[in-house]
């Protein structure tokens, strides 16, 4: 599966919010985790790169009282985002990590949620990040990693999807090294243990929407077989307990170049 999975070739946008919606408690957890990393008053303009249906665009705008540009390559995801969110502080634009359609020195922060692994030309993307960020700007990456992926239980039921995830999910040390070599400091790395579903039944329902791109990449037969095993497992669990999972948050800051750049 190539890094650049095309969301326009699927109808994931129709199911995305159901399959990947986060409960209010989890959204609050992320809002606090993100605010805690940066001086709030210094963040006036944010790029929500690969914003999808806008799950984080409003949260970011509210958290910092900031202007947000939601940038997204998929027309379908973009049109759902525009339908979902109407705020004078938020603008949705077609673009990508490799081509951010904004002038240099625009943003205080670039936020990527579950997007970095989709960017095919990461070198080009980081070059663009350095241009579009203001001095000492930040890049926040919310992602699963090879390390966290091993702690989730859904991939165990879909070996083909697990293989895809393990190939494309960033390794913690490699991701940090990649940014360091290209002009960024790692200022913080944390693990946020979020509630994904209120119980195992809801967990099963969310996975069954097949919005995870690796589940779309495997055959229908493999998906159905895995789903049957997952259902059996989820039904056998105590359904009153929430299902949590750990997501990595990396905070990078652009190094200061006194002579004007790279
Ligand atoms: C898993 S979704 C995450 C959406 C959103 N950030 C969220 O957390 O709800 C991945 C998104 O990345 C977008 N995407 C794919 N390739 C991209 C690229 N090269 N640059 C930016 N976004 C990309 C997809 O279209 C999709 O909307």
Domain boundaries, the chain: 23-197+246-254
**Quick one: DSSP state of residue 55?**
T
Q: State the Cα–Cα distance between residues 136 and 255, nearest whole angstrom.
A: 6
Contact 58, 87 (CB under 8 A): yes
Ligand 1, CB cutoff 6 Å, lining residues: 4, 7, 49-52, 55-56, 72-74, 77, 96-98, 113-115, 118-119
Q: State the Cα–Cα distance between residues 164 and 254, nearest whole angstrom.
A: 31
- 10 pLDDT exceeds 70? no
- 260 pLDDT exceeds 80? no
Contact 144, 165 (CB under 8 A): yes
Looking at residue 22, its pLDDT comes to 79
Contact 144, 116 (CB under 8 A): no
Contact 216, 210 (CB under 8 A): yes
Torsion of CA 91, 93, 98, 103, to 10 degrees: -60
Which residue among 115, 142, 211 is best mutated to probe the pocket of ligand 1, counting the most ligand atoms within 8 A of its Cβ? 115
pLDDT digits (tens, 9 = 90+) for 78-121: 999 999 999 999 999 999 999 999 999 999 999 999 999 999 99
pLDDT above 90: percentage of residues in the chain: 81
Looking at residue 237, its pLDDT comes to 86
- 39 pLDDT exceeds 70? yes
Distances in Å between the Cα of 258 and the Cα atoms of 110, 135, 136, 179, 262 are 22, 10, 11, 19, 10
Partners of 251 in the β-ladder: 140, 188
Q: For atom 19 of ligand 1, which residue has the closest CA?
A: 119
Q: For atom 13 of ligand 1, which residue has the closest CA?
A: 50
What's the pTM? 0.89
Distance 227 CA to ligand 1 centre (A): 25
E strands within the chain? 45-49, 67-72, 90-94, 107-113, 133-143, 184-197, 243-254
Q: Which fold has domain 23-197+246-254?
A: Rossmann fold (3.40.50)
Pairing between β-strand 243-254 and β-strand 133-143 as defined by DSSP bridges: antiparallel
Highest mean pLDDT pick, 111-120, 205-214, 251-260 = 111-120
What is the SS3 assignment for 234?
Answer: helix
- 14 pLDDT exceeds 70? no
* pLDDT mean across residues, the chain: 91
Looking at residue 17, its pLDDT comes to 63
Atom of ligand 1 nearest to the CA of 8: 25
Atom of ligand 1 nearest to the CA of 74: 25
- The model's confidence at residue 12, banded by pLDDT at 50, 70 and 90, is low
**Token pair belonging to 48:** 């929500």
E strands within 39-131? 45-49, 67-72, 90-94, 107-113
């Amino acid at each position: 599966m190539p890094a650049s999975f095309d969301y326009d070739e699927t109808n994931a946008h129709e199911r995305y919010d159901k399959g990947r919606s986060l409960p209010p408690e989890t959204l609050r957890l992320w809002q606090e985790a993100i605010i805690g990393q940066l001086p709030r008053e210094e963040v006036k303009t944010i790029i929500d790169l690969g914003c999808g249906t806008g799950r984080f665009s409003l949260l970011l705008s509210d958290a910092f009282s900031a202007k947000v540009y939601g940038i997204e390559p998929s027309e379908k995801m973009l049109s759902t985002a525009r339908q979902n969110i109407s705020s004078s502080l938020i603008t949705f634009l077609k673009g990508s990590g490799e081509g951010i359609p904004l002038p240099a020195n625009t943003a205080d922060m670039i936020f990527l949620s579950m997007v970095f692994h989709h960017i095919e030309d990461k070198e080009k993307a980081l070059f663009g990040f350095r241009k579009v960020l203001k001095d000492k700007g930040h890049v926040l990456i919310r992602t699963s990693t090879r390390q966290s992926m091993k702690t989730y239980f859904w991939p165990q039921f879909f070996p083909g999807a697990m293989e895809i995830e393990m190939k494309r999910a960033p390794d913690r040390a490699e991701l940090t090294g990649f940014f360091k070599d290209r002009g960024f400091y790692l200022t913080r790395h944390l693990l946020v243990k979020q509630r994904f579903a209120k119980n195992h039944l809801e967990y099963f329902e969310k996975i069954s929407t097949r919005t995870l791109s690796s589940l779309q990449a495997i055959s229908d037969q493999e998906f159905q077989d895995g789903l049957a095993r997952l259902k059996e497992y989820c039904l056998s669990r105590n359904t009153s307990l929430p299902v949590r999972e750990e997501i990595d948050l990396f905070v990078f800051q652009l190094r200061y170049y006194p002579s004007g750049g790279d």
